[in-house]
Amino acid sequence: MDTPILWYFADPMCSWCWGFSPVIEILRDQYRERTKIALVLGGLRPGETTPMTAAGREEILHHWRQVHARTGQPFRFENVLPQGFVYDTEPASRAVVTVGGIDPALIFPLFRAIQSAFYAEGRDVTQPGVLAELAARLGVEESVFLRAFDSDEARARTQAHFWQARQAGVRGFPALILQQGSRLDSISNGCQPLDTVQAAIDRCLLSD
């Protein structure tokens, strides 16, 4: 029988996904012998071109404060999302897809690194240079990364991730779906506690 797949739909610039980060890391450790855990870049705001308004900035910071209060994940609130910032999540998602094509083992490490840089350090992870630096910290040569990142193939593969999320009916992040053969079970939607998610996974695995 095929190994079950736990599909993790998320976006590196989704604050609730950052809040959920400790949970997904525990799940990856606890279930690695029983399931494959695969990341799908969901596409929170891909292709955004309009600079953020002051009201939009305050709304986002409100969400960040909620995530911080609920999960304890670190956030930098001072001097972030500067005037003129365009909240386009496609480049960060494409960076994860790009590094996956170079070394699949780096998919989750780069995803986490981008999250941490954006939320905890206030860095602009829409910029290719910042993304290349983060990849370089994981051992990927910057020139190799940037050449692959700027390719039509990387763009197409990133769009395929977004399409997969839409096809799965995912409308918000983070989300988990367990696939066992042709059977799909929704495990969680939104930033759920670890024990809630574990119980849902165990229930579906045992019922197969």
**139-184 pLDDT, tens per residue?**
999 999 999 999 999 999 999 999 999 999 998 999 999 999 999 9
The pLDDT mean for the chain works out to 96
The domain of 34 spans: 5-207
CA angle 46, 51, 55 (to 5 degrees): 105
Single-letter amino acid, residue 177: I
CATH number, domain of 172, equals: 3.40.30.10
Calculate what percentage of the chain has a pLDDT beyond 90: 97
What confidence tens digit (pLDDT) does each residue in 33-69 have? 999 999 999 999 999 999 999 999 999 999 999 999 9
Domain total for the chain?
Answer: 1
Exposed/middle/buried for residue 14 (C-beta within 10 Å: 0-12, 13-18, 19+): buried
pLDDT value, residue 208: 58
Q: Say yes or no to pLDDT of 78 above 70.
A: yes
8 Å CB contact between 91 and 128: yes
87-93: average pLDDT: 98
180-192: average pLDDT: 95
pLDDT value, residue 1: 58
pLDDT band at 207 (very low <50, low <70, confident <90, very high): confident
Calculate what percentage of the chain has a pLDDT beyond 70: 99
pLDDT band at 206 (very low <50, low <70, confident <90, very high): confident
Alpha-helix runs per DSSP H in the chain: 15-30, 54-71, 90-102, 107-119, 128-137, 142-149, 152-167, 194-207
Sheet of 36-41: strands edge to edge? 36-41, 5-10, 175-180, 183-189
pLDDT value, residue 171: 86
